Amino acid sequence: MNCINCGKELSDGSAFCEQCGAAQQPEAQPQYQQPQYQQPQYQQPQYQQPQYQQPQYQYNPAYQQGGQYYADPNAMAPQKSTDPISVVGFICSLATWLFSTLSSANSVFSTFTLIALIMGLVFSPIGISRTKTRYKGRGLAIAGLVVSLVYLVLVIVVIIAAVALASSFINAIPF
């Protein structure tokens, strides 16, 4: 062992140097521990079944086309349950058939039949045009128009048949 101050050789275990008198401390030897190598532990990956859910889509009134956004005009208008004009057109067309069956009992119902037929033919197309954008009830308006047109065609056929029958009677009478 050597003196830490002057470097003179000293006997082992000396606390002071005999030449310079410097206190001697044993050199601290660094304690080096060799790292322990651990084998990596592998685990089998656990597969979890994905849980599928029905996608929830929100109605977006704006849609994108060609990089520009367009607004759906039907999404902006409030939706009502049923168009009242469509309902009136359908009821008038049904009233036409009802009044026509009752017109044989009283001639007043013939007038009501004609009025109901005209109202059905007027209100049903209006109901169809109104249900394109703002209202529901398009089926009622179409049904009212079809029923009114069928009755109108039947009335025209009956009138033509009556005119033909009347002309045949007139031709049969000798003058």
pLDDT for res 153? 92
Instruction: Please write the tens of the pLDDT for every residue from 106-125.
Output: 777 788 888 888 899 999 99
Least confidently predicted of 1-15, 63-77, 134-148: 63-77
Structure tokens at 70: 């367009």
Both structure tokens of 22: 């410097």
**Beta carbons of 96 and 115 less than 8 angstroms apart:** no
Binned at pLDDT 50, 70 and 90, residue 157 comes out as very high
Residue 12 lies in a domain: no
Helix H segments across the chain?
73-76, 84-102, 108-130, 138-172
The pLDDT tens digits for 34-81 are 777 777 777 787 877 877 777 665 555 555 555 565 565 555 555 567
Do the domain assignments include residue 42? no
Is the per-residue pLDDT at 92 higher than 80? yes
In a domain, 121, yes or no: yes
Question: Are 130 and 122 within 8 A, CB to CB?
Answer: no
Q: Residue 36, Cβ neighbours under 10 Å: how many?
A: 5
In a domain, 63, yes or no: no
What per-residue confidence (pLDDT) applies to 56? Answer: 65
Q: Hey, what are 26's tokens?
A: 């044993």
pLDDT at 60: 56
Tell me whether residue 3 is in a domain. Answer: no
Q: Map residue 33 onto helix, strand or coil.
A: coil
Quote the number of domains for the chain.
1
Q: How far apart are the first and last CA of the chain?
A: 167
Q: What is the span of the domain harbouring residue 105?
A: 84-172
